[in-house]
Amino acid sequence: MPAYRPPHIAASEITPRDIYISRRNFMGAAAGAGLAFAGADSAFAAPLSAKPSAFKLDETLTPKEAVTTYNNFYEFGVNKEDPAANSGDFKPTPWSVKVDGMVGKPKEFGLEELMKMSLEDRTYRMRCVEGWSMVIPWIGFPLSALLDQVEPLGSAKYVAFETVVRPEEMPGQKGFFQPLPWPYIEGLRLDEARHPLAILAVGLYGETLPNPNGAPIRLVVPWKYGFKSIKSIVKISLVEKQPETTWKNANAREYGFYSNVNPAVDHPRWSQATEQRIGEGGFFGANRRPTLPFNGYADQVASLYDGLDLKANY
Amino acid sequence: MASLPSLPRRYHKASVWALYVIGLVPAAWYFYLGLTGGLGFNPVKEFEHQLGIWALRFIIATLAITSLRDLAGINWIRYRRALGLIAFYYVLMHFSVYLTLDLRFDFGAVGGDITKRPYITIGFACLLMLIPLAVTSNNWSIRKLAQGWNRLHRLIYIIAAGGALHYVLAVKSVTLVPFIHIGLIALLLAYRAVRRPFMNWKRANNKPAKPVASQRARQNG
């Protein structure tokens, strides 16, 4: 398998922090002025700094208000505005993530320890399986850094993830009409999980993760549809067999285990050829853009799938 | 049986016109929200969805007229044409927004959607079936078509079922709001299936008890 080579980016090309912070403030103020509710700022969100990384994009960032108020997080309700509206009671601290299964050193990581990992700024595209997309400045660390600490055994082939279950704090997890079985579960092949692009995010836009975005810690796998990037993780297990995943269990014909972004493989009910970039264009100027294979990360990740039929393994 | 205070006859016509105005308020309201940035970060999709949901609501209201008269004794038949036409206007707006604001006149994509995606095929078929119903929603057509008018307008049952199916297939998972709409359509259609035997049974049961009232009802009906 060819080795992954991170893109080389000259130091001169990396925007200094004070410049992007000032742009961020300007954008925030501009977006905030036109908004009735900016209730997305979680009570727990705190400033968070990280070192710059080579992973950035020459694309307009999706406004923070959009990133934090237009979400799919069914634990808080099925509508896009529900996570922002219903996550006020959710307590992302204290928190711990249990890592177990086929590992030499199983361990429960406290959030403080995870926040001390070597945090990086990672700006990624996010493509939802529903046909919309965002550009989000995450803060996080490579998932491989965590996996290295627990020393996966040779027999481990997959990584399984689990979201917290707290019906008292997550209104979508109680009541008669629950859209999905809980806990929400996801999974990756071990080589996918170890890919340098796969991160555990603990912040966005220079702050700790807001509740609607999966506080306090979530997965971000930018070449896969958004639902793969599981939120509010409490458990990570190294396993031998391909783990079950929530949406595949709900509808295997529509949502596969891989769920790599692929404009050539339509969802059975809609096309995946194009996407609507959230926050761009407004009412009359909305304009769909072409979706890129592997969400634009083909150079980095396509080799993971050499010899795999991507139409059959959607 | 329940009875509502009845509206004096001289207001009937005005009340129907008022219904047309009120019926189009949701569309105008969502259009205003769209223009002023009040529809969130994916305003076109939101507008499109709202128009579709309101189309279903007016189809439900149209179907409910007969059931209300049979089961609750409320006769709002004078509003049925307006409700049906408003439903048609919403379906038309729903499709127009999809064609213009959403797909921006990309006829290739529209054609592909209609032929390849079952929920859009069904939705489009419902729009086509609504056209003859809308065109014949006037007194002249009722006179001209006579019994044929009743047969033609039974298409609304297929359209209602198709609209519900279109909705179910369009959502990622059937949650409370879709469930309520689809459930109401299923109930109203199920009532149509049992309506004839039910009405026969009702007449048969009413006859010995209140012959006079029953006769009067039949004369008026």
DSSP string of A270-287?
B--SEEEETTSSHHHH--
Interface probe for A, chosen from B48, B49, B167, B172 (most Cβ of A below 10 Å), is: B172
DSSP label at A212?
Answer: G
Question: Residues B76, B82, B87, B90: what is their CA dihedral angle, to the nearest 10 degrees?
Answer: -140
Q: Is B40–A69 a contact, with Cβ atoms under 8 angstroms apart?
A: yes
Interface mutation target, options A269, A275, A276, A288, chain B, most CBs of B under 10 Å: A269
According to DSSP, residue A292 is labeled P
Q: In the numeric block, which tokens belong to residue A115? A: 């926040």
Of A65, A278, A287, the CB nearest to B42: A278
How many whole angstroms separate alpha carbon A99 and alpha carbon A104?
Answer: 11
Q: d(Cα B56, Cα B181) in Å, to the nearest integer?
A: 7
* Cβ distance of A180 and B34 shorter than 8 Å: no
Is A310 contained in some domain?
no
A219/A179: higher pLDDT? A219
Specify the amino acid at residue A29: A
Chain A residues with CB under 8 Å of B45 CB are 132, 276
- Chain B positions touching A266 (Cβ under 8 A) are 116
Which residue from A282, A278, A303 is spatially nearest to A293, judged by alpha carbons? A303
Site of tokens 């009570």 = A43
Q: For strands A199-204 and A132-142, give the pairing.
A: antiparallel
The DSSP 8-state label assigned to residue A224 in this structure reads B
Q: Is the dihedral of CA A294, A277, A138, A55 positive or negative?
A: positive
Pick the residue of B41, B50, B117, B165 with the most A CBs within 10 A to test the interface with A by mutation.
Answer: B41
CATH code: domain of residue A222: 3.90.420.10
pLDDT at A93: 95
How far apart (Å, rounded) are the C-alpha atoms in residues B192 and B160?
Answer: 12
B100: which DSSP letter? I
**Of A64, A80, A52, A215, which is closest to residue A135 (Cα–Cα)?**
A64
Q: Is a pLDDT exceeding 50 seen at residue B219? A: no
Does residue B112 belong to the interface with chain A, where contact is any CB pair within 8 Å?
yes
Domain range for A177 = 17-305
Residue-wise pLDDT tens digits, A160-173: 999 999 999 999 99
**pLDDT at residue A36 greater than cutoff 50:** no
Whether A33 contacts chain B with CB within 8 A: no
Mean pLDDT across B161-175? 89
Of the candidate ranges A75-89, A113-127, A173-187, A281-295, the one whose mean pLDDT is the lowest: A281-295
Query: Minimal CA–CA distance to A295: which of A169, A132, A166, A97?
Result: A132
d(CA B153, CA B132): 9
Q: Which residue has the tokens 């990584």?
A: A159
**pLDDT above 90: percentage of residues in chain A:** 79
- For chain B, what percent of residues have pLDDT higher than 70? 91
The predicted complex's ipTM stands at 0.76
Question: Does residue A6 lie within any of the structural domains?
Answer: no
- In the three-class reduction of DSSP (H, G, I as helix; E, B as strand; rest coil), residue B154 is classed as coil
Task: Using an 8 Å CB-CB cutoff, list chain A residues near B169.
Answer: 269
Helix and strand numbers (H, E) in chain B are: 10, 0
CB contact under 8 A, B38 and A36: yes
Percent of chain A whose pLDDT exceeds 70:
86
What is the least distance, in Å, from the CA of A153 to any CA of chain B?
Answer: 37
Smallest CA-to-CA distance from A242 within A188, A171, A169 is with: A188
State how far the alpha carbon of A112 is from the alpha carbons of A115, A120, A151, in Å.
5, 16, 21
pLDDT higher than 90, residue A98: yes
Q: Which residue has the tokens 């069904």?
A: B122
d(CA B170, CA A191): 34
User: In this structure, are residues B87 and B62 in contact, taking their beta carbons and an 8 Å threshold?
Assistant: yes
For A285-314, the pLDDT digits (tens) are: 777 899 999 999 999 999 999 999 999 999
- C-alpha span between A254 and A293 (Å, rounded): 18
Q: CB-based burial of residue A71 (10 Å sphere; 0-12 exposed, 13-18 middle, 19+ buried)?
A: buried
**Scanning the structure block, which residue is given the tokens 């994009």?**
A57
**Whole-angstrom Cα distance, residue A134 to residue A113?**
29
Q: Once rounded to an integer, what is the mean pLDDT over residues B58-67?
A: 97
Q: How many domains does chain A have?
A: 1
Note whether B175 contacts A: Cβ–Cβ < 8 A.
yes
